[in-house]
Structure 1
Amino acid sequence: MLLQKVHARDIRLDHPEFMDQEVQFNLIHRITDSEDAHCIQSEQGNLVFAQTPGHNAWLWLTSDMPDEAKRKVLSSLIKQLEQSPLPGVSGDPATAALFAEMYAERNNVQGRPFMQLESYFCPTLKRPLNVPGSWRQATNQDVDTVAEFLAGFSNRAYGVTVSSASQRPNAEATIAGQNLYLWIVDDAPVSMANIAHRSPRHGRINAVYTPSEARKNGYASAIVAELCAMLRQEGLLPMLYADVNNPDSNKVYRNIGFVESGNILDIKFG
């Protein structure tokens, strides 16, 4: 099987096999939008490898590839990556685990599962009822609040404790993207959500966060529902990823109409 390194914009993401799993592997669209992305694909279109520097590589293989063929193509890929050490890999659990095992053995590193995500899409929106408040786009006046929310999100989503001050540049950049929205109650922000990326057929939502004192009031459901409605008006299907070990967030998404579309296993090397 011929593997070829290609420019990010030349990656083929419109073949039927990939589109059948497009929600699960949607982040590949975002990676291939980056000019500095490192991308490899097979001549037959049944493998896509995409990575931005310093981040996990995302790996997609056709789901019906026999085990022997899968090992052969992964061996070829790992040989091509010898001069490009990876911090980790993300993919469907079986493929990610197999790649990690083979990569770790060849490169004398260890792989450890970091997070397992469920991918969701929203075919039918169910708006929550009787949630107090309203939504608006975040502005520069919200930088301190957004930085605080992003620090809380880092801790809750990834178990990484960071200060609000360290998140201020990220808050400024996210607000400047004009896709971050806040739910407001009594003139105070109580929840946030962001449209992280628009691919040809989907809009991906992320950074959904409500501080602990404001939870269990439907605020996250309300703001995510509003972003879903916006994306649907644009002709895009809303999608997102959720940590399978966070039952509260998974319940929120299912309650407003999100449907499971496949797991992604995130493995770190070290």
Structure 2
Amino acid sequence: MDSSTWLRVPDVHAFLARAGGFLRSRPALHTVPLTVCEGLRARGPQAYGDEAPVFGVLERGGEVRAAYFRTPPYRLIVTPLTPEEAGALASHLEAAGDPVPGVNADDATAAAFAEAWRARTREEPRLHERLRLYRLGELRWPDPAPEGRARVAEARDRGPVARWYAEFVRDIGGGGAQDPGAWADARIAERRVSLWETPDGVPVSMAALTLPVAGQIRVAHVYTPAGLRGRGYGGAATAHASRAALAEGAAEVLLFADLANPTSNGVYQRVGYRPVTDFAVYDLAGAADG
């Protein structure tokens, strides 16, 4: 008899106390729960929005088998599940009256949960995007490298960093974004944004780093304004951020790329990133993007 039970957990501290060991057992596969929860722990619950985050775990025989969380208004994040576990999670969330605007998980889990939610709501899910998780192998500097240099963003860069964050979110079709100024302020203060600038000192691209947790750091929010693309700036900013992550002591440096964008996937592979696994993001019935 299956003794698995989905349980609600009250806050990020209780969630990490209960599920932290499980999440750290596979840090690459669990990079999103680890990095978002580290951000909540370090920056406070307001770091990802005004509403309280929601957390839960699947326990079997007293051990955590899987976990989920959601920082409203964003989509549900779920660790790998079997179809049966995905169905049980859908039932658990529906019984709790929780809104589920979408789901983000590895390909098989996301599809299984979307189908389980469709079976309960009779509404068709919509595939939002497919992502590939990459892990850095041997870092290779872009060759030829673009003219200019890399540096860490400073307070004087707040304007472009905030603007590029907002443009990045818009370009990926995201909604419910964090306040761009607050996002920039936090990451500039933590020295977690790499910029590539032209020889005359004009920033032209950025790549940010998540906080270190479980031996891994993820490169995120790689962005070059549309009119400046195709010149190698994004690859150079990514390489600089990746080198900074290694210098910080990361055992694994990770990033996600949209599979619909062959250019960015090619850039990341040329600087040394190798595929780990694929993820999928679905919007569910009546959901706003998040």
**TM-score with structure 2 length normalisation?**
0.79
Instruction: Give yes or no for the alignment of 1:176 onto 2:183.
Output: no
> Which of these residues, 200, 208, 212, is aligned with residue 214 of structure 2?
200
* 1:5-24 alignment runs, 5 A limit: 5-6=8-9, 7-15=14-22, 19=26, 22-24=27-29
One-letter amino acid of the counterpart of residue 26, structure 1 = T
> Which of these residues, 53, 77, 88, is aligned with residue 76 of structure 1?
88
Cα shift at 1:179: 0.9
Distance 2:174 2:248 in 1: 34
2:32 aligns to what? 27
> Which of these residues, 223, 228, 233, is aligned with residue 214 of structure 1?
228
1:2 aligns to what? 5
Distance 1:257 1:202 in 2: 16
Paired-residue identity, %: 26
What are the Cα deviations for residues 73-101 of structure 1, in whole angstroms up to 9, with x where unaligned? 23322222122111111112222111111
Cα shift at 1:209: 1.0
Pick closer, same or farther for the CA change 1:40–1:195 going to 2, 3 Å: same
Instruction: Describe the SS at the equivalent of 2:254.
Output: strand
One-letter amino acid of the counterpart of residue 171, structure 1 = A
* C-alpha RMSD over aligned residues: 2.5
Q: Is the 8 A contact 1:28 1:50 kept in 2?
A: yes
Distance 1:244 1:190 in 2: 24
Distance 1:11 1:124 in 2: 35
Q: Is the 8 A contact 1:138 1:175 kept in 2?
A: yes
> Which of these residues, 252, 274, 278, is aligned with residue 259 of structure 1?
274
Distance 1:139 1:192 in 2: 12
1:65 aligns to what? none
Cα shift at 1:246: 0.8
One-letter amino acid of the counterpart of residue 41, structure 1 = L
Cα shift at 1:115: 1.0
2:57 aligns to what? 40
1:235 aligns to what? 249
Q: Is the 8 A contact 2:134 2:275 kept in 1?
A: yes
Instruction: Give yes or no for the alignment of 1:190 onto 2:204.
Output: yes
Instruction: Give yes or no for the alignment of 1:143 onto 2:153.
Output: no
Pick closer, same or farther for the CA change 1:214–1:50 going to 2, 3 Å: same
Instruction: Describe the SS at the equivalent of 2:146.
Output: coil
Unpaired runs of 5+ in structure 2? 46-52
Give the length in aligned residue pairs. 257
Cα shift at 1:138: 1.6
Unpaired runs of 5+ in structure 1? 63-69
> Which of these residues, 53, 61, 64, is aligned with residue 72 of structure 2?
53
Q: Is the 8 A contact 1:11 1:39 kept in 2?
A: no
Pick closer, same or farther for the CA change 1:105–1:156 going to 2, 3 Å: same
1:132 aligns to what? 147
> Which of these residues, 85, 102, 107, is aligned with residue 121 of structure 2?
107
Instruction: Describe the SS at the equivalent of 1:46.
Output: strand
Cα shift at 1:197: 2.9
Q: Is the 8 A contact 2:6 2:56 kept in 1?
A: no
Q: Is the 8 A contact 1:5 1:41 kept in 2?
A: no
Pick closer, same or farther for the CA change 1:213–1:72 going to 2, 3 Å: closer
Instruction: Describe the SS at the equivalent of 1:95.
Output: helix
What are the Cα deviations for residues 163-209 of structure 1, in whole angstroms up to 9, with x where unaligned? xxx84444334433431121111110011110023221210111111
Pick closer, same or farther for the CA change 1:111–1:177 going to 2, 3 Å: farther
> Which of these residues, 102, 109, 113, is aligned with residue 88 of structure 1?
102
Distance 2:76 2:37 in 1: 11
